Amino acid sequence: MTIIECSGLARRFRLNWALRDCDLAIPAGHVVALVGPNGAGKTTLLNLAAGLLRPTAGRLTVLGGERPGSAAARARIGFVAQDAPLYGHLPAGDMLRVARNLSVRWDDQRARDRLARTGVPLDRKVSKLSGGQRAQLALTIALAKLPDVLILDEPVAALDPLARHDLMGSLMAAVAQDELSVVFSSHVVSELERIADYLVVLNAGRLQLAGEVEALIAGHRILTGAGGEMSLGSQRAAVVHASTAAAQAHLLVRMPAGDQVPRGWQSQPATLEDLVLGYLRDPAARMLPGQAPATAGEVAVPA
């Protein structure tokens, strides 16, 4: 089952295209990281999937064919929007009751246990909670409705490192406990490799990269070699991004796992961070499942 499937999805706000030509088929059972710079269209895509926005063009279905925003989709998707919107003037316990009364399914015991474990006081007003506590409360509310998919828009963006670790840890525990798929967006890349097993890279409203993390990492290398007019020979390697200095060049190349490293170059596995940054720096580079990959770079390395 695909949890989010779109073809040609596009969304325009007045004159500005926030998202264009989006073709995705995100499978269930993964922790999906949606990555891109600010303004890339991540929030737009997630809001479309949650049913808060309607597409300007293209098709979008969630949970294997449901219309986003339909009653079935609402019941099975847990959504935490950016900045975890909650009713600020209510105490946390009443906020929980409100959420319970708005939900179709609800596990109250689990919600209360979780709040107790994460140290969120039930009698304090939501507006007086710390950022980490609010995020935990919002996550608890989303989890308590027993969703099949959890969609989180930049859940850790405003949190301090400890709160960030705690939130991600408890999110992973929830994933381990239920058969939950998670889609979360982030503009911080450095800690993604431990958490995500499916990656989607958005840049300026267009998709650049989508696929399982393991496959992506296996299919790319960092080649280090001398700068100057060196070519990769007749290798079937496509350069995604080259960073060159006078005497040395680092190339992020797309190379099938079994291929031999060209002579004169040293190969290192690419990390997720290398991948994301490399693709973001070359917006024309693309590698999407089911499509011919594209690169901006040439095979020969400029001096």
Which chain residues interact with other proteins by CB under 8 A? 13, 29-31, 47, 50-54, 69, 71, 74-75, 77, 79, 81, 83, 85-90, 94, 97-110, 138, 141, 145-146, 165, 168-170, 172-173, 175-181, 191, 193-197, 212, 257, 269
* Extended beta strands in 122-237, E state: 149-152, 181-186, 198-203, 206-212, 220-226
185 within 8 A of 42, measured Cβ to Cβ? yes
Closest to other proteins by CB, 29 or 119 = 29
Pick between residue 191 and residue 296 the one whose CB is nearest to other proteins.
Answer: 191
Would strands 220-226 and 266-269 be described as parallel, antiparallel, or unpaired?
antiparallel
In contact, 80 and 151? CB cutoff 8 Å: yes
Q: Which is nearer to other proteins, 59 or 89 (by Cβ)?
A: 89
User: Cα angle vertex 65, ends 62, 70, to 5°?
Assistant: 65
Yes or no: say if 48 and 4 are a contact pair by the CB < 8 Å rule: no
Closer by beta carbon to other proteins, 134 or else 286: 134
State in angstroms the smallest separation of the CB of 301 from other proteins: 23
Q: How many whole angstroms separate alpha carbon 252 and alpha carbon 263?
A: 16
Shortest distance (Å) from residue 146 CB to other proteins: 5
CB of 212 to other proteins, least distance (A): 8
Residue (99 or 252) nearer to other proteins, CB? 99
CB of 295 to other proteins, least distance (A): 25
User: By C-beta, is 21 or 94 nearer to other proteins?
Assistant: 94
- At its nearest, how many Å lie between other proteins and the CB of residue 57? 15
Q: In what order do the strands lie in the sheet with 31-35?
A: 77-80, 149-152, 181-186, 31-35, 198-203, 206-212
Smallest separation, CB 79 to other proteins (Å): 5
Given a contact cutoff of 8 angstroms between Cβ atoms, the answer to whether 222 and 240 are in contact is no
Task: Please name the helix (run of DSSP H) or strand (run of DSSP E) that holds residue 8, with its range, or none.
Answer: strand 2-13
Least distance between other proteins and beta carbon 112 (Å): 11
Q: Which is nearer to other proteins, 123 or 179 (CB)?
A: 179
Contact present, 151 and 77 (Cβ < 8 Å):
yes
The SS3 of residue 32 is strand
Q: Are 108 and 144 in contact (CB under 8 A)?
A: yes
Give the span between the Cα atoms of 277 and 257, in whole angstroms: 21
Smallest distance, other proteins to C-beta of residue 48, A: 10
By beta-carbon proximity to other proteins, the closer residue of 162 and 246 is 162
